[in-house]
Structure 1
Amino acid sequence: MGTRKASSTCINTTGTRLLDVASENSLLPIPVSIRCNRLSYTVRVRGAPKRILSEVSCAFAPGRTTALMGPSGSGKTTLLSTIAGHSSVHGSITGEILVNGGPPPPDFKQMACVVPQDDLLLSGLTPREALSYAAMIRLALPQPMRAARVEELLAQLGLLECSDVRVGNAETRGISGGQRKRVSLGLELITRPSVVMCDEPTSGLDSKMAEDVVELLRGLARSGITVICTIHQPSSRIFSSFNELVLLTQGHVAYAGETCGAEAAFARKGLAMPLQENVAEVFMRWLQDDAAVALILAGAAEGESDVPVTLGDTALSKGRQRYAVSRFQQFQVLLRRTLKDQLKDPKKALNTCLLKCFAGTLVGVVWFRQAGATQASIFPVQGAIFVAVFNSTMDTVLTTAMELPMTRALLQREYRNGWYALPPYQMATIVVHCLLATWNSLCLSIPIYFLVGLRLDALAFLIFVSTLALLSWIGVSFGLTIGAFANDFKQAQNAVAPSLVPLILFSGYMIPYPQIPSYFRWLYDASFFQYGLAIIDINEYSSQKFNDCPPVIPASVPPTCAPYLEIAAEALCFKDGDAYLKHSHIDPADMPRNFAILGGYVLALAVISYYVTRRAVRTS
């Protein structure tokens, strides 16, 4: 096979503008250059150190597009994450990263953004809504200016025609793959960042969509933005459209410089380019060939010294706040966005409520009118109460346990790119799920309460509903905590039952308190189920008189023996509700205390869920 003569002459790859994100009225970003000097990144795998990046030196200039290429495992995404400051806390970094000739400023996350490979979008929002919420969080501007920026971006990204179509997901059809990529990019462009880093922006797209996305990135570079993209086996046309090229292999730099100079650099190492082959594919083949890699790494990587990168420290003299808006404003926007996404399908929300009503009606029919002024009603009514408590809590835990595993990647993207602080996000998530859980508890409790025939009193009904609502709120934070520990939603789902079964088993219903072994009594005290059951029992049985417990002392019994027979009779038949409560180790005076304990569980688990979520986001 013949080879072609390597050319060291670079040509202008700007070409015709298909999409130009810069406009005459746009606020141009601050030019930012980045240089990596002998950058290494090491992690520990099974106790042994593993070097992911090895003395990487390269540069990225404003107004230029850089392709970051290499085989799988070469360190492309790690380099991108390290530059952005997103590397794992478990890794060790040596070397230096310079931004405009100095260390990265504290507000670098507001100046640079990372667009992940996967399109991490909320499926229930439209492109206009997604960009609008991003603008509310990230732009400290009046509403008319934010709206104008959103409309400008929709037009520049070619999203006007689908601006009011839901993003969708695998279950619900929405916008196309190329449009999703542009929405994902637009979420970061809303603030006009100085550096845009994209992880495989053409992955999963057909050739036309891929070319459109790359042309969009070139338009960003023309506006003065530093554009860095990891890319995997691009077409010849896409490859040649990048100004700069960084090739990685086994964590080392194989080449760093202008794209048009790569052929000549490899030719000098004895690697000639075959005729009529895609240059990018040949480079990838060489980077996976041991003999070729040995030749490439024999000398220092060429090309990086040709890229002008130092603009001077004064370019970053304008500092920015860590966040564009206050934490309370972040909470307000995130609350609206989360609620909008959760209620994306009104029919689904209605069906959930109807299912709860059906479950409550089924329980009510099974125990229809079982409540009454008889001690014989205690056992069936306890069954209905337990089902209500269990259902309202268990369903909520199952739902929220899968929340973070499904949204973790989106949270990591937004949090690491400096959109918002974690407390407003966690608070908004908890509040939305508590609102939905309260509504579902109401749908469940109304049919149960009236069909079973529990105490007909407005205050008693309010206490019953409030108790189920509190238990469902506990389920929200409990589920979020489980989800934060889990790596995926299946693991979270599998962890729910083992976490709840001990609390249910020792709640006082399945095993009465007197029969619980002394060494398991601490589980009874720790079970939030028993406090909820105790409140409802007090609510139902306190001061209740039973009329089916007649005297069992025959007239022939001597008066001296009667007291002993009365004690035995009380053990077999409760004269009133207070006797049953005493037998069950429940004190009616403890109702306020039990409410306070349930409230304490809500707050404590909310705090725990926050810290566990923070750990999950920072260490993943």
Structure 2
Amino acid sequence: MAGYHNNSTFEAGEHDSVCQNSKNRKQTQSTCIPKWQQVTLSWHNITVTTSKRTICRTRKVACSKTILKNVSGNVRPGRLVAIMGASGAGKTSLINVLTFRNIRSLAVSGDIKINDRVVNRDQMNDVSAYLQQEDVFLGTMTVREHLLFKASLQMNMDSRTRERKVDQVMMELGLSKCADSIIDRPYSNQRISGGERKRLSFASELLMNPPLMFCDEPTSGLDSFMASSVIQCLKMLVHKGHTVLCTIHQPSSEVFALFDEIYLLAEGNCVFTGYTMYALDFFKSQGYPCPINYNPADHFILTLAMIPGQEQACRKKIKRLCWEFENKQMKEKYENGSCTSSSLLNQQELLPRYQAPCLKQFRYLIWRSWITNLRNPNLFIIKLIQAVLFAVILGLFYLKTDNNYTQDDVMNINGCIFFAIVSLSLDSIFPILNVFPSEVPIFVREYGSKLYRVDIYYLSKIIVEIPIHVINPAIFMSILYWMSGLVYDNVEFWTAIGIAVLVANAAAGFGYVISAGAPSITAALALAPLLLMPLMMNGGFFLNNRTVPVYFLWLKYSSWFMYSNELMILNQWANVDQIGCNGNSTCLSNGNLVIESLGYRKDNVPLDWICLASLTIAFRLLSFIILFIKAKITT
């Protein structure tokens, strides 16, 4: 970092010797960066603005806000550098710009360089790792399984070598004791600690041993001891030749002392950059000495904070500090600290976008999804029990032990059929609503890290859940069919099973659409009933098929309730020749009359099957498109 310098500080060449001296120590060599791979990050004249539209009476006025104002800096190998500043100073915005993430709505100008060469997003991703503030994992995986999954998709090596690499990284970061612990077991208090989660985040990125690391608030949510241990991990990486830049809000004195250099931001301006020991001298020279036994980090933040009611004076003070830092020539040219070698960048440009081939991505995503489902009792055992209980309860309401039908039986069986379709649909939709909202943060982060493609991720989720959407409806219909007195015939029985499976899968596809599009599980649960009600109304039970209003015909033809209800009614009544009549009431004396009274036609059977299958596919394609767009927008 340009600014004040201390020649006695641990230099990059010494880090290289550390790696050389550790060749015989497996627990340390796995994360060493040799000198020829080390990188210097620099940024030049970075300005970031955002615009928001406000309404002023009858016209819209565009108001732009400058977040970062022409800031520059660099980070060299063997340096642990902290970006500090009060809330709203621009810390997260700067690290987002440097990593090319979450900047779609911003106007960014300036250059970002690695080893004195301007880089783009892909090149930056190839040589760096980004540890975000939130630690997100699939809770059903163990620590070892999570790391093996990432290693399998990022490393082109045999399984034994990958396992050794994972073991080395876990040992290095103190994760060996919890290697086989589940990260966050569903419906249980069994989970790893906050410090272990943070170290697991480090381990996930260190598998590829990136020479450059960005960390956004790595101590957030941790107590002082765990915060210190996390920064000690970063310090260890720095001593092995990594280039590390992190944001930190207000570290303790002990944590602050671990940083080599600081980069102070205030109101989007760079107020100071240089070694931590000289920051105190600079502020003292400007009339802001740090009190004895006072945390320097707190002193800097308080000095640069915007005090309510004194904003103008605070801005004037910040402007003066920036001017003093600039004009007393306490900064150097940032280009002087950059490396001349660009061999690493040239090598990284040749890497493919995805580290693993498609089949390998698919294999390990299937493996992870399968483990997740097996360890989530709500997906298998509970849903199976639920299907059996629903079928038995519904069967008891419509219990009939023969095929001698009366007029009352017609109404009962038609009601039973439609209620079965509704039950199958709800049982398929609502468990799926949580699938994507709960995994989208993980998916977006892993997709942004080039672990896999969107289509392969989506396909793995769909395939793993197919058994649930086949076994459960088959069991449900098998129980209900014989209890409710539907036609005793093998052909009709297996046809009903097939219809039930298609209903469950069409409904599941609809659930995927809502799940992929909703921003949260709360929104998905609120949206699902609103969208389901019109589709159910067009199912042919509440409203006669021939009397659907013209303006709702599009809903009728996109409702799987209509196609499945027609198929089930035709399957039940098409071959029933006699139905008993009650006195002088209107009598539907055979199955054909029942079919006609509902507005259904026998020659619709092939079309109903095709439409039901088409909806199953169309809903899944639509949910994939939504997920794909969301991935592109958020990464």
Do these two structures clear the TM 0.5 threshold for a shared fold by scoring above it?
Answer: yes
Aligned to 1:285: 302
SS of corresponding position for 1:501: helix
* Structure 1 residues not aligned, in runs of 5+: 1-6, 553-568
Letter in 1 for 2:49: T
Structure 1: distance between partners of 2:31 and 2:228: 24
Aligned match for 2:43, one of 32, 36, 45: 36
Q: Within 5 Å, which residues of 2 pair with 1:59-78?
A: 59-78=74-93
Closer, same or farther: CA 519–316 of 1 in aligned 2, 3 Å: closer
Closer, same or farther: CA 478–550 of 1 in aligned 2, 3 Å: closer
Closer, same or farther: CA 315–498 of 1 in aligned 2, 3 Å: same
Structure 1: distance between partners of 2:604 and 2:39: 64
Aligned to 2:311: none
Structure 2: distance between partners of 1:503 and 1:34: 56
Closer, same or farther: CA 27–529 of 1 in aligned 2, 3 Å: farther
CA contact under 8 A between 2:67 and 2:268: conserved in structure 1?
yes
Deviations 1:431-459, CA, capped at 9 Å, x for gaps: 23333333332343232222113233344
Aligned match for 1:391, one of 407, 423, 433: 423
Structure 2: distance between partners of 1:28 and 1:549: 88
Structure 1: distance between partners of 2:135 and 2:607: 48
Structure 2: distance between partners of 1:22 and 1:36: 34
Superposition deviation, residue 98 in structure 1: 1.3
Q: Within 5 Å, which residues of 2 pair with 1:427-466?
A: 427-466=459-498
Superposition deviation, residue 393 in structure 1: 1.7
Aligned to 1:99: 114
CA contact under 8 A between 2:570 and 2:595: conserved in structure 1?
yes
Structure 2: distance between partners of 1:59 and 1:140: 32
SS of corresponding position for 1:52: strand
Aligned to 1:153: 169
Aligned match for 2:289, one of 259, 263, 272: 272
SS of corresponding position for 1:246: strand
Matched, 1:314 2:343: yes
Aligned to 1:184: 201
CA contact under 8 A between 1:101 and 1:311: conserved in structure 2?
yes
SS of corresponding position for 1:197: strand
Closer, same or farther: CA 463–183 of 1 in aligned 2, 3 Å: farther
Identity of aligned residues (%): 25
Matched, 1:485 2:517: yes
Closer, same or farther: CA 234–523 of 1 in aligned 2, 3 Å: same
Aligned match for 2:589, one of 575, 582, 585: 575
Aligned match for 2:105, one of 90, 100, 107: 90
Closer, same or farther: CA 391–60 of 1 in aligned 2, 3 Å: farther
Aligned to 1:329: 360
SS of corresponding position for 1:188: helix
Superposition deviation, residue 9 in structure 1: 5.2
Aligned to 2:372: 341
Segment drifting more, 323-332 vs 286-295: 286-295
Q: Within 5 Å, which residues of 2 pair with 1:338-377?
A: 338-346=369-377, 349-369=380-400, 372-374=403-405, 376=407, 377=409
Letter in 1 for 2:46: L
Q: In angstroms, what is the RMSD of aligned CA positions?
A: 2.8
* Structure 2 residues not aligned, in runs of 5+: 54-61, 307-313
Aligned match for 1:593, one of 607, 618, 621: 607
Superposition deviation, residue 368 in structure 1: 1.0
> So what's the TM-score if we normalise by structure 1?
0.89
Superposition deviation, residue 241 in structure 1: 1.1
Q: How many residues align?
A: 595
Structure 2: distance between partners of 1:196 and 1:519: 57
Segment drifting more, 48-57 vs 278-287: 48-57
Segment drifting more, 193-202 vs 358-367: 193-202
Q: Within 5 Å, which residues of 2 pair with 1:39-54?
A: 39-46=46-53, 47-54=62-69
Q: Within 5 Å, which residues of 2 pair with 1:522-561?
A: 522-549=554-581
Structure 2: distance between partners of 1:471 and 1:42: 50
SS of corresponding position for 2:117: coil
Matched, 1:55 2:70: yes
Closer, same or farther: CA 211–26 of 1 in aligned 2, 3 Å: closer
Aligned match for 2:145, one of 124, 129, 154: 129
Letter in 2 for 1:600: S
Superposition deviation, residue 122 in structure 1: 0.9
Matched, 1:520 2:535: no
Closer, same or farther: CA 347–596 of 1 in aligned 2, 3 Å: closer
Matched, 1:296 2:313: no
Structure 2: distance between partners of 1:591 and 1:430: 27
CA contact under 8 A between 1:116 and 1:413: conserved in structure 2?
no
Letter in 2 for 1:395: D
CA contact under 8 A between 2:84 and 2:248: conserved in structure 1?
yes
Structure 1: distance between partners of 2:156 and 2:632: 26
Matched, 1:195 2:212: yes
Aligned to 1:263: 280
Structure 2: distance between partners of 1:169 and 1:281: 38
CA contact under 8 A between 1:52 and 1:75: conserved in structure 2?
yes
Structure 2: distance between partners of 1:299 and 1:536: 82
Segment drifting more, 271-280 vs 480-489: 480-489
CA contact under 8 A between 2:83 and 2:91: conserved in structure 1?
yes
Aligned to 1:609: 623
Aligned to 1:232: 249
Structure 2: distance between partners of 1:192 and 1:280: 30
> So what's the TM-score if we normalise by structure 2?
0.87
Letter in 2 for 1:258: Y
Segment drifting more, 505-514 vs 250-259: 250-259
CA contact under 8 A between 1:100 and 1:310: conserved in structure 2?
yes
Structure 1: distance between partners of 2:545 and 2:233: 68
SS of corresponding position for 2:104: coil
Segment drifting more, 263-272 vs 195-204: 263-272
Aligned to 1:566: none
Letter in 2 for 1:407: E
